[in-house]
Structure 1
């Protein structure tokens, strides 16, 4: 049984929370000031500290700086309103989560179900670091290059907190794998991880898919439907291609992030959302905001902790490790293991990889199928090689006058790239670093 310390100056609120904590199997003590909290912690180290931000003798946040006193306790801040500043402060000071007052029984139960000592999380990160040195893997990601080491450091730092993460990077760089690694290292690991591609759902259905709907709320709604927020309760919701979400729905998502509640389509009853959101985009978020594809207020609410994944061309030293990883994966699935020859590795190193790690995996799958023996040569691998910048002709250049509206510049770039790729849409999408769905949407807008 764990022990919780409730630092709350309102006696009624403190008693109510102590009762709820006790009902979940924890012993509970209360403190009405920082002075009292320090005294109680000195007598018995709590597993969990529920800490009010405003106390009679100071700011509750200051207690987080007393590392010897906090020791191995998990700290959850309590605040009267959720804000971006609160999230950033909680992360900076090492808090695991924060609750919005008045605290509901459901909110508190969710927190108590995830209590995990910080030392346990640190030990798991240390184990992943050892695995990285030994196998070249960190969670679901593969690579030892310096750019990936920076990514791992950020993932390890943010996973143990509750803050929202925004992962950016070109198509195929592994944004969902980064999100899964955050989830697996978090206190929510025992709850669901759900991934939603906002660009792959019809605009007419996306609200229902994300928030759910009531029976009879629209034509065809023959039964109540639980959306992704309800199905991911207590866990992590990965919103990929967030810039493809319709603007009207972005407003509702912002409200969920700010209030922690939502309503199903056709309902007037509010539902609590105990979900951690990890968003992702293969577009530059700042450009998406300027083009009107992403609301600025939503961007700032999602971008509490940004992580940018490097393209494969910026971490070519990881290629042999990735090749071995994918061939082992394919071999285990197909029942026969094959390896890449030196000539194959040399060709792979010269390729541009516009589709990044995903394209590499697909290329190796094809080469594996086409190779009769157990050594994969360069015969069935991509033949397009890197072109030195000095050798690139004007045919591959696009000149856009200064002052051209972003939407017009984007149109010119997409159509020029489509022409350059011989109207092969898969290659065009890979070269632009966008999904095929996004490319189709743009071409539809342009009447192509």
Structure 2
């Protein structure tokens, strides 16, 4: 039976929490101060520790260092102050989560229900490491390079906690796969995992998609709608392209992260949710803060545990591994036996792959379709030269914007000029303009050019969601 240690100087709080914890199937031990807590730790290693932040003989955070095998113990800090600084200090000190007094009973039950046996979680992580040594897989990710081993170690350490994770990396580096792996290695793998691309939702709809709305709250709201935070309750919510979220909505997101509560559009009734948030961006987050794209307070709340996703060009040896795996999947799906020549894999490794793993996967699929039984890598690569691999076009076009021109008209003139200068390649046009690919798609659609241009070497017929 799992064991819980409750450390609080208020007797009524200790007794009420002990009764609730025991009702969830735990044995319990209680302590009124740090000294008594140290004694209890020597008697039995707990599976979960509930620690009051302020104790008569010290700070509750001081007890964390005394807990052996912290990776196998769920540490929950209890505080009367729900500030961002307190939450971040608790999570960085090793706490898996924190509760605000008066303790929310439903949230405490949710935490207790997701506490697995320590040996189960340890075995799960050990199995993943064994699989990595065998074939290079770690959760949903594939790679054996040294830089990926560092990434896997970071994920292993933070996954069992409730800490918010910020994934930072170029498009196509596998941020959503990393988020799925974090979820499946967490203490809530049987609960929902929901992914939201903040840059792919209309600014007019994103609040409703995130938090939901009541019937009749606006034109077209013909029924109640449960948002992502409500549907992901108990699980993990992955917020991709977080810097594309409207600033006014970032305030509401910060409040949910701090309090675990939100309101649907059209009501003042609060809804409670227990969601672990993993955010991602392909921008420099500090630059996004400086430019006003990301609120500083939200950035600091998300940046509890930042993880840098390595680009494919830095993953020595992984290009060949990934390419062969993608080809194997295609052969299996279509009952074929196409192969890469040995020297062909070396040519793949020499390519820089500015679109990272996504670009490599798309390339393998095109090469498979066009290739014979032995795929000619050289010929296939000759078709994917991109502006990032040559010198950037010189900015020869000069735009004159007269005083009095509307911002919308000026924006249209700038976008169309850049689109023409970069040969209609949407990805590089968006990068040079400093906007998301989704934003560029939307603008081109407004200008009646949604079918124009190319993306990654392929003709683009319509706007699609960007990673």
> What's the CA shift for 1:387?
9.6
Question: Which aligned pairs between 1:389-400 and structure 2 lie closer than 5 A?
Answer: 395=393
Retained in 2: the 8 A contact 1:348–1:382? Answer: no
Question: Which aligned pairs between 1:90-239 and structure 2 lie closer than 5 A?
Answer: 90-239=90-239
> What's the CA shift for 1:57?
1.8
Q: CA RMSD in A?
A: 3.2
Structure 2 distance, partners of 1:398, 1:84, is: 48
Q: TM-score, normalised by structure 1?
A: 0.87
Structure 2 distance, partners of 1:420, 1:118, is: 58
Retained in 2: the 8 A contact 1:282–1:434? Answer: no
SS of the residue corresponding to residue 339 of structure 1 reads coil
> What's the CA shift for 1:377?
4.2
Match of 2:269 in 1: 269
SS of the residue corresponding to residue 29 of structure 1 reads strand
> What's the CA shift for 1:109?
0.9
Q: TM-score, normalised by structure 2?
A: 0.84
Structure 1 distance, partners of 2:70, 2:245, is: 42
Retained in 1: the 8 A contact 2:320–2:349? Answer: no
Structure 2 distance, partners of 1:219, 1:393, is: 50
1:322-352 CA-partner distances (Å, limit 9, x unpaired): 1112122223333334332234324323433
> What's the CA shift for 1:428?
4.0
Structure 1 distance, partners of 2:65, 2:96, is: 14
SS of the residue corresponding to residue 333 of structure 2 reads helix
Match of 2:342 in 1: 342
Number of aligned residues: 438
Match of 1:407 in 2: none
Structure 1 distance, partners of 2:274, 2:95, is: 17
Bigger Cα displacement from structure 2, 138-147 vs 197-206: 138-147
Q: 2:10 matched to 1:10? A: yes
Structure 2 distance, partners of 1:411, 1:321, is: 43
Structure 2 distance, partners of 1:420, 1:190, is: 49
Structure 2 distance, partners of 1:69, 1:286, is: 35
> What's the CA shift for 1:269?
1.0
Q: 2:364 matched to 1:364? A: yes
Gaps of 5+ in 1: 400-409
> What's the CA shift for 1:188?
1.3
Structure 2 distance, partners of 1:79, 1:264, is: 27
Match of 1:402 in 2: none
Match of 2:456 in 1: none
Match of 2:243 in 1: 243
Structure 1 distance, partners of 2:51, 2:298, is: 28
Match of 2:59 in 1: 59
Match of 1:436 in 2: 437
> What's the CA shift for 1:72?
5.0
Question: Which aligned pairs between 1:19-30 and structure 2 lie closer than 5 A?
Answer: 19-30=19-30
